[in-house]
Amino acid sequence: MIEPQTHHPTSNSTATETAFVVSFSESTNNQERRIRYVKRQDNSQFWRVDESRHDGSWQVETVEPIENLQCQQPDITDALAPKAESAV
């Protein structure tokens, strides 16, 4: 099961602290894995961090920059427009 978790900075955050984290955890072949998407306040770059659990703690497997992050909100203009009544 994938469970999203979001981390928000505290009010005393500095510019070098993490600004945003979304984590997804699951077990695959009896191995706990976690994928995190991380962004820092002082940088516009997002990173993908792939981790697995070993001896009770998370260990980083890979860290990759996300080159083409697409955060798009669907256009709901048509859905909100009044519907024309059809002739019967």
For 60, the token pair is 């980083």
Portion of the chain with pLDDT greater than 70, in percent: 55
Q: In what order do the strands lie in the sheet with 5-7?
A: 5-7, 18-28, 31-40, 46-54, 57-65
pLDDT tens digits, 34-77 = 888 888 777 778 888 999 998 889 899 999 998 776 666 666 66
Report domain extents, the chain: 5-80
Instruction: Tell me: pLDDT of 28 over 90.
Output: no
- pTM score, whole prediction: 0.53
pLDDT of residue 11: 40
- What's the pLDDT score for residue 79? 64
